[in-house]
Amino acid sequence: MNDLFAAGVTLFILMTGKAPFNNANPSTGLYQFIALNYPDKFWKMHDKKQKFSMEFKNLINSMLAFDPTHRLSIAEILSHPWMTQDILMGN
C-alpha cells in the first residue's frame, strides 16, 4: 500500500509540477487535512493556482488516504474514471 501512496504523490507532481505537501506528517501542514479527512481544505490550498477536476481530486484523495486500508488497489486506480477518460492531445 505504501507504493500506492508514493504513486499518488508522483501523479500529483506530474500533474502540477509540485509536491502535494512538504512531508506526510499527520499532525502538521497540508497532509494534516488529508489525515483528518478534510480534503476540501487540502484542495482549497492547491486550487489557488490551478483548478483540478473532481475526478482527479477523488483519485488523489483515494491514493493519499491516511488509512492505508482506504487507499485504492492497483486495479481500482486503473479503472478509476480519471484514468479511463479520453485525453485530448494538443497540437
Query: For residue 16, what are the contacts with CB-CB under 8 A and spacing of at least 6?
Result: 46, 50
CA distance 2 to 88: 31
Residue 41 counted as domain residue: yes
Residue 91 counted as domain residue: no
pLDDT at 48: 82
Q: How many CA atoms lie within 13 A of 90 on its CB side?
A: 0
- Torsion sign over Cα 15, 55, 32, 65: negative
Q: What is the CATH number of the domain that holds 29?
A: 1.10.510.10
pTM of the model: 0.86
Residue 90 counted as domain residue: no
- Which cell numbers in the block locate residue 26? 499527520
Residue 88 counted as domain residue: no
Say how many Å lie between the first and final Cα of the chain, rounded. 37
Give the number of domains in the chain.
Answer: 1
Domain that holds residue 48: 2-83
pLDDT digits (tens, 9 = 90+) for 41-72: 999 999 887 889 999 999 999 999 999 999 99
